[in-house]
Each structure stands twice: as C-alpha cells, then as structure tokens.
Amino acid sequence: MVASLHSFKHDIFRALLIEARKDAQLTQVQLAEKLNIPQSFVSKYERGERRLDFTEFIEIADLLGIDTSLFIANYKIKITGYLTPIN
Amino acid sequence: MVASLHSFKHDIFRALLIEARKDAQLTQVQLAEKLNIPQSFVSKYERGERRLDFTEFIEIADLLGIDTSLFIANYKIKITGYLTPIN
DNA sequence: GAATGATAACCTGTTTTGGGATATTTTGCA
DNA sequence: TGCAAAATATCCCAAAACAGGTTATCATTC
C-alpha cells in the first residue's frame, strides 16, 4: 500500500470527485469558498497533486451532497471491476 | 478545513480505526504484514502522526472487514453529535 | 522477574503541502 | 469569429509531513 499520488486508484477517486462537484453545479472557486480554502487547493486534489485524507473527504463529500456509501461502492467497482463483498 | 493532524475529527477517526483492528483480532504487526508495510506505519496512523488518505482507508477497511457505510455513519455521529442527513 | 509480544518513539534524508500570485485554458455571447 | 470573463492550472519554496529500519518502552504470561 502507501498510496502513490498518481496511482490508478487515485485516478478513479479523483474522477469521482470531479464528477460530484460538477453534479453539484459548483466551480472550484465556489467549492473553495464553502470550504474556506484557496481554489488552488481544490485544483490540486482534483489533479492529484495533493491527497485528501479521510476527514477532508467526508467534509467535501457533505458539501457536494455526495452519498458516501454510493460513492465508495462506485469507487470499488471501478477499482476492482466488481463490487467487493462485505463493505 | 485543511485537516490538522491532531484535530478532534482525527481523534474520532483514529479511535474507530483502532477499535476496528481490535475487533478484527489483529495486532499492528499482523495488519502491517497483510498490508505489506512496517508496523511503525500502523502505529503512526493510529496515533495521528501520519494521515490516511481515502484510498488507503478503503484498503485498510477492507482488510479489517469494516463496513464503511456503518463506519462513516458512526464517524459522523461522533463528530456532530447526530447523524448528518443525506450522506 | 524474565521472556515474549505489542506498541511507541527515534532518526534523518526525502517528499509533500500551503496558498497567494500568475498564467493558461475554456466558455459564451455579441 | 473575436474577446472578455470565468474557470482551472501552474509557480514558488519555506515549512511541514512522511518513510521505515532500528531501538526503546510498555504489557502480558508463566
């Protein structure tokens, strides 16, 4: 493990985040304002220049109206090709 | 936002992770072996010396048999005092 | 109370980050 | 089509976080 910034998994993760922001009809600037962070921060994590830890992800997910269960299910499907059992 | 390593949120997050590892009956060494990382890595993230990004969390959660939906629900409850609507 | 097991702390060179400023790209409309 | 405005990416670099093997400390058991 030890996530390398530019792994396949991160690519999937970032794509899902970008999609979620667009679904929420927010620009990076608008999202940044809601989060009280600079726009470059949003740009960075969307491009994989900076990682998001768990707590940050939850915070952003809430603001974007992301259903985390669904989000994670989609993430796992895209990662593995199928839905991982249990979780 | 911008998660400070030793925030209240991280404290909750780490406590849940430690609890999950113990529920899974694994020592840090055993978990580390499964993840192919040093024990000090596990120790670090459990003590908040190192953050876990989203992809790492999912990987660990899978190994620990964590139900991520439940985990996140618990996290949110402990963070806010109540369950956040939608997500 | 010694051995074993489990976790924390150390050390230090390397990598990541923060965020304001600036550049580049994209969009949309006259 | 041409351009202004909007949106996003890139720069910069000091400061902070990380990696991971090694060692120390704490806990458990007999």
Chain B nearest-CA distance from A9, in A, is 7
- B61 CA to C7 C1' in angstroms comes to 20
Q: Is the CB of A5 under 7 A from strand D?
A: no
Q: CA at A42, C1' at C27: how many angstroms apart?
A: 20
- Average pLDDT of chain B, as a whole number: 91
Cα–Cα distance for residue pair A59/A45, rounded to 1 Å: 14
A82 versus B54: the higher-pLDDT residue is B54
Determine whether the interchain pair A55/B87 forms a contact, defined as Cβ–Cβ distance below 8 Å: no
Measured in angstroms, what separates residue B72's CA from nucleotide C26's C1'? 37
Are A74 and B75 in contact, with CB atoms under 8 Å apart? no
For residue B4, pLDDT beyond 90: no
Cβ-count burial B56-75 (b if 16+ within 10 Å, e if not): bbbbbbbbbebebbebbbeb
Look at residue A81 and tell me whether its pLDDT is greater than 70: yes
Contacts of A11 (CB under 8 A, 6+ apart): A48
Q: What is the pLDDT of residues B37-50, one digit of tens each?
A: 999 999 999 999 99
- All structural domains of chain B, each given as residue ranges with its CATH number in brackets, are 8-80 (1.10.260.40)
- Using DSSP, state whether A53 is helix, strand or coil: strand
pLDDT band at A57, cuts 50/70/90?
very high
pLDDT higher than 80, residue B73: yes
Is A7 in contact with B41 (Cβ distance < 8 A)? no
Chain centroid to Cα A86, Å, comes to 22
The complex's ipTM? 0.89
Instruction: Work out the pLDDT band at A9, boundaries 50, 70, 90.
Output: very high
CA–CA min distance A53, chain B (Å): 4
Region A57-61: mean pLDDT is 97
Mean pLDDT of B69-87: 80
What value, to the nearest 5°, has the Cα angle with vertex A29 and ends A24 and A31? 40
Q: How far is CA B48 from CA A2, A82, B15, B41, in A?
A: 16, 32, 10, 11
- Does nucleic acid strand C have an atom less than 7 angstroms from the CB of B40? yes
Strand D contact with B14 (CB < 7 A): no
Q: How far is the C-alpha of A43 from the C-alpha of A40, rounded, in Å?
A: 5
A72 contacts B68? CB cut-off 8 A: yes
CB contact under 8 A, B69 and A68: yes
Integer angstrom CA distances of residue B46 from B11, B24, B30, B39 = 9, 15, 14, 11
